[in-house]
Structures are given as structure tokens and as C-alpha cells.
Structure 1
Amino acid sequence: MNSNIRIGIIGSGGIARAHAKAYKKIPGVDIVAVADVVPGKAAQFIADQELTGALPFEDHNRLLELELDGVSVCTPNVAHHRASIDALEAGKHVLVEKPLSVTLQQGIEMVQASKRTGNMLSVGFQPRYDPNMVAIKDIVQSGRLGKVYYVETGGGRRRGMPGGTFIKKELAGAGAMADIGCYSLDMALNALGYPKPLTVSAVTSNYFGTNPKYHKEAASFEVEDFGAAFIRLEGDITLQFKISWAMHMDTLGASYFLGTDAGLKVSTPYNGSSWNGVWDGGVGSITLYHDEIGRHAETSIPVLQHQVDRFFEKVNDFVRAIRENRPAPIPADQILFNQAIIDGILRSSETRREVDIVIPNF
């Protein structure tokens, strides 16, 4: 009897290639099917990735009729919702790429489907597997900072605007928020233990994306390339957030955790590249600010130089969770708070006022 983990991939774009590469490295895992709505694209993907014996489909529901243990959802953002729910209801565990969904309501329905079916829904935030990201969370959770009352996070690329499906509102839902902003939010919220967001006051703009001087697809640019927000979290925590795909600046600065006993400053890795300066992987420096014998003191936390393949670890952890019948490594009901903030930012910017965030209890 074949006891290998059987995997299907829905969507065969660039991110699907990274999933396939990771699965192929894991002993005892077979990619048995790929689905893509574009005729011939799944078959071409199978050939390109040398997935011997895998079956191609244009309809993901046909793929879900197969005996599968897990599914990677690698579609454009707009299709995360339907593909994930269909997979969960077909009895499959799901690893969906970030962002969780396009709207908060879609995210709620996805979490409800996971709870209803008992199948796990994990979300693709590979920066969590960076050892330095783990250290940041360990420091915050240790209580060393005392009561954390203010957090600032975000990042920005001097020039780093994608195109294609990333800039179409009907496909992506949001721009910089959904692409890289969700990573910044996860870095901070995960360290804090994911407190519930309560209100958001925000602004967004797309001065660069809609300007042909800066983007070759300016005429069809429909999402935001910049956003800033003031967010109130449970536990009397204030979160200041900012993100940018393009700007006339080298960086939007470090992230800060201010506590009653100490503060933590974390810088993004920045080496002068136009695409650096966001929390999609890596850490530049970690510094603890505190008092010792009544004097100001600073402790530099060594940043580990490592060879951890964060993306592989994300996929491998999903497979381990299937094998060991464990909960989702990065649970969707947690990431729903992340999605709720993005949803709140877009609503607040559109209405030009602070908005409440309402998330049901599950």
C-alpha cells in the first residue's frame, strides 16, 4: 500500500513552482495533480516541473475528486476563497498562499469551512521560519519588555511594484497591503500573540503605480502602492503601520516594540537594493533598550546567519502536520485578524474616517 502523502496544486503560476520545488524535496510526498483554468497551462507546468504521472485539470473540482491528503492553493488572490473552501469540503487539508483572501467576509467563510469540516487551513507566511523572526517573538513573549503598549511596523521598497494580476483589483483585492503589508503585520502580530484588532484609521494612495514614469502598466494600475494606518488592538496596544511599493526614500525605518520595562528595535535587511526594506524575509539587526543600575543600556542581539530555506520549511511543516494529524502550522483563524486589518485599512481610506473591526467568534 502506498502511504505517501498525495498533494494537488491549484494554480500553476510562479508561486506554484516554488511549492512544487519544495514538495519534491520531501521524502514520501507525491504531487499527483495540477489544476489551472487556462487551457494547457497545468499540463505545461507538469512537464516543466517534471511531475511524472501527475494529472492536469482545468477545473479544480475535478482535481478534488482524486484521493488527496493536501492541496496547495496558488491561484491569484481572488480565487483563494472558492478553491480553499471547495478543497476543505472535499476532505482535503489546505495550504493557501498569502493573503488569506480578498475580503474579510471571504476569510471568515474560509475559516468557517475549516472549522465545519475539521480539515486544516494553513496560510503561507514563510518569514516565520526565519530563526531571527523566532527570536523576536521569543523576546516579546518572554515578558522582558514588560507591558507592550506601542508597536510600529511596516516597510517600503524604493522601487518594487509588480504588475499583472498584482495590480488588478478584481484579481488581487489590494496592492501593497496584500502583497507585502501582510508580512509586516504578521511579524508584529505574531510576536504579540495575535491580539484582536479593534479599530483602524488609515490612508492609501497610488501616486507611483498610476504614473507611466514609474510603472509600465500605469494605465491599468487599480490598487494602492502606499498605505499608513493607526490601529487599536486588544490589551491597550497601539499599532502604527506603513507600507510602500515605491517611494523617494531608502527605507521607512525599523520596527519598534515599546514596553514598560524595555524596548525592542528591529531593522529590515537593507543593502541598497530597490526591492529591499520589507518583512518578506530576513532581519537586519535586533537591539534591546533597557535600564541597568539606573542607567540607559543597549544590548545587541546577535542576528543569526543561517541557511534556512524559509519557503521549504513552510511547505514541509504543512506536510508534517498532515502526517502527524496536527493543527495548521499557521492557522487561518489567526491570520483572519491580519486580513481584518487590511480590510479595515481599505475601508477607512475609502470613507476617510476611523472604522470598527468586527470579527465573529468561532
Structure 2
Amino acid sequence: MRTIKIGIIGSGGIARAHVEAYKQLPYVEVAAVADVVPGRAKQFAEAQGLANAAAFDSHDELLKLPLDGVSICTPNVAHYRTTIDSLRAGKHVLLEKPMSVTLAEAVDMVAAQKEAGTLLSIGFQPRYDPNMKLLREIVQSGRLGNIYYVEVGGGRRRGMPGGTFIRKELAGAGALADIGCYSLDMALNALGHPRPVTVSAYASNLFGRNPKYHPEADKFEVEDFGVAMIRFENDLVLQFKISWAMHMDTLGPTLFLGTEAGLKVTPYGTGPWSGAWDGKIGSMTLYHDEFGTHTHTEIPLIEHKTNLFFEKVRDFAEAVRDGKPAPIPGEQILIQQAIIDGVLRSAEAKREVEIKLPE
């Protein structure tokens, strides 16, 4: 079995999760680590037991090595440069979410991937939950008929991060990019990635800017709440809502309304940090008519102990080793980035705006 060599760019907490997953794959060698903070890559490699891994203070130096692929685990603002450079260096890329800070960056990434002929896979591990796969199977089966309305989103009663997450120049967006991207991915992946055309949105940071609720209120530059109505080419409309903080226990379930049936999906767990679609599914219920009578069917959930993060990393490593397509291709996530960009533009303009995707 061919050994593939992987580099890690960025050495924060998410990088540790990548390394732990790669260590479980006998055909993978984590051969290098890079971090812009001097000495941190070396400390990280030693702490993770990567005795033979080279350590660099620049990803440019790491990319000179004969690596098969890289995991990019940097803050959002560094995703663009490190991804573009890695693709142009001929490396396959597993990039943590969100894909980029701006839509233009995401467009450039996809173009660079196509030009390089390498893989660009984006890290949305909830797709590996067997019940997320079941959700997509139900929606794609046609059982719901013509799906005309979807309502998706989630929120935390209190769950506002700090640091790089709340600086616009570093994160690009707040709750929309941090946990909203998971909600969008769940819905768009189930629907088959339809193309959006317009969005009308509202966004605010009434909690983040209030020192009563956030210790870094004076540095809070992104949104902690957003809501939008998005129209798609196939005459589908999607209501999207997300919150880092609110005086409410939930923003409600995810709904798929079709001409033959409707599907209600609730997230797993309870408490102030539940309600975001970065975890498992709690329940699925199909609402339909049988013999002229309203009825509903509880969809049995699949019991499992799947390590979703490991599955994401393994799927990427196998694609690199076996020459398979990107597990979660950048072209799909580009649609998400276009929607988030449209939400922010609409909220700022206080009117409906167009969403334009490259052909």
C-alpha cells in the first residue's frame, strides 16, 4: 500500500484533530507542520509525537517538500492564500470550514483547483453522519414531491466566541460563517445544490456589541444574528436563520415542504449550545396523507458511534491515495459562500440583492 505524505498548515486545536485522525491511517505519514508563529510548529510536532515531521514558520517552505496533500487549519483569513499556494504547488487540499472570507476568494480557489487538477475538499464532517445521509436520501427520493419551501437554521441561547471569530477582517462573517454554514450545507446537500438567484436579509450584532453579554464588545465587528429569504432557479425558496445569542431556547426545526409530503428535522441535544447543525440529528418526521387522512411517520434514526471528524479525514486521504474525486468539492461549497455574501450585502443595503455565480 502506497504511503501518502501530508502536511499540516496551522497548528491550533483543529490541527490536533486532523493529526489524531491521520495517525489512525497506516498509509498516511504526517511529514510536516507549518505555523506563522515562530517556533509553534516545532512545539506542535513534538507535542503530537511527530518525531520525523519537519517544522516551518512559513507554509511556503512546507510546500517545497514532496507532499501529496495538506490539511489547512488556519484562521479564516489565511484560508485563501494557503489554499491557493498549496494548489499551485500541486498539493491536494483538505480545507477547514468556512471555505473563505469573501466570495471572490472562493471563486479563485475553485479556479485554481481546476487549473491544478488536484483535489479541494472542504471540511463539513456532519455529512458523514448516517442520519444526514438518510435525510439526503429521503429528499432526493422524490417522496416529498415538488419541494417548494425549506426552512433551516439554528441558534444558541448563548454561544458567542471571541478573538479572531469576531474581527471582520479575519473572519469575514460571524454566526453566518461559523455555524450558519453547517445549516446551509445540510439543506443544500439534501436538495442537490440548487443555484440561488436572489436574497433578502437582515443581520445584527445587538448582543455581541453589548458588554452585558460579551467581554469583547468593543472589538465585536461581525453579526451575531442573521435571517434571510433566498430564491433559487427552480422556484424553491429557503428561509435561513442563525444566531449566536438570543432570548429564546430554539429557532425551531428544519422543514422541507413538498407537494406530496413534508419533512421535519430536529437537531440532537438540549441546552444553550444545542440547536446548531454542527452535530447529529435528533429526530425526523414525515407528514403525509394516506387514504384521505392526515398522518405522520417517525423516521427511525440509525444508531451509530461514527467519529464524523475521522471519517472526513479518512475520506480525503483515500481520495488522495486512490485518485478519487474530492469528497466535498469546493464547487458545492462555493454556493454557500455566494449565499452568505448575498445575505451580508442585502442586510447592509436593506433590500433584496442578486446572487451571481460563475458559470
What TM-score do you get using the length of structure 1 for normalisation?
0.98
Q: Name the counterpart of 2:141.
A: 142
Residue 27 (structure 1) shift: 1.3
Structure 2 alignment gaps of length 5 or more: none
Q: Deviations over 1:297-316 (max 9, x none)?
A: 10000122210000000000
Q: Number of matched residues? A: 359
Preserved CA contact (<8 Å) 2:9 2:34: yes
- Give, as a single letter, the amino acid of the residue that structure 1 aligns with 2:92: H
Residue 143 (structure 1) shift: 0.4
SS at 1:290 equivalent: strand
Q: Hey, what's the Cα distance between the residues in 2 that align with 1:295 and 1:18?
A: 50
Q: Name the counterpart of 2:53.
A: 54
Preserved CA contact (<8 Å) 2:149 2:237: yes
Residue 43 (structure 1) shift: 0.9
Structure 1 alignment gaps of length 5 or more: none
Q: Deviations over 1:10-66 (max 9, x none)?
A: 111111111111111111111111111111111111111111111111110100000
Q: Name the counterpart of 2:291.
A: 293
Q: Deviations over 1:191-227 (max 9, x none)?
A: 0000011111111111111111111111111111000
Q: Hey, what's the Cα distance between the residues in 2 that align with 1:160 and 1:18?
A: 21
Q: Name the counterpart of 1:162.
A: 161
Residue 270 (structure 1) shift: 3.2
SS at 2:281 equivalent: coil
1:282-361 equivalences under 5 Å are 282-361=280-359
What TM-score do you get using the length of structure 2 for normalisation?
0.99
- Give, as a single letter, the amino acid of the residue that structure 1 aligns with 2:324: R
Preserved CA contact (<8 Å) 2:2 2:321: no
Q: Hey, what's the Cα distance between the residues in 2 that align with 1:301 and 1:32?
A: 45
The counterpart of 1:279, out of the listed 277, 280, 304, is: 277
1:93-242 equivalences under 5 Å are 93-242=92-241
Residue 68 (structure 1) shift: 0.5
SS at 1:119 equivalent: coil
Preserved CA contact (<8 Å) 2:125 2:311: yes
**1:38 has 2:31 as partner:** no
Q: Deviations over 1:158-191 (max 9, x none)?
A: 1111111111111111100110000000000000
Residue 233 (structure 1) shift: 1.1
- Give, as a single letter, the amino acid of the residue that structure 1 aligns with 2:29: D
Could you tell me the percent identity over the aligned residues? 67
Deviating beyond 3 angstroms after TM superposition, the runs of 4 or more aligned structure 1 residues are none
Quote the RMSD (CA, aligned, Å). Answer: 0.9
Q: Name the counterpart of 1:22.
A: 21
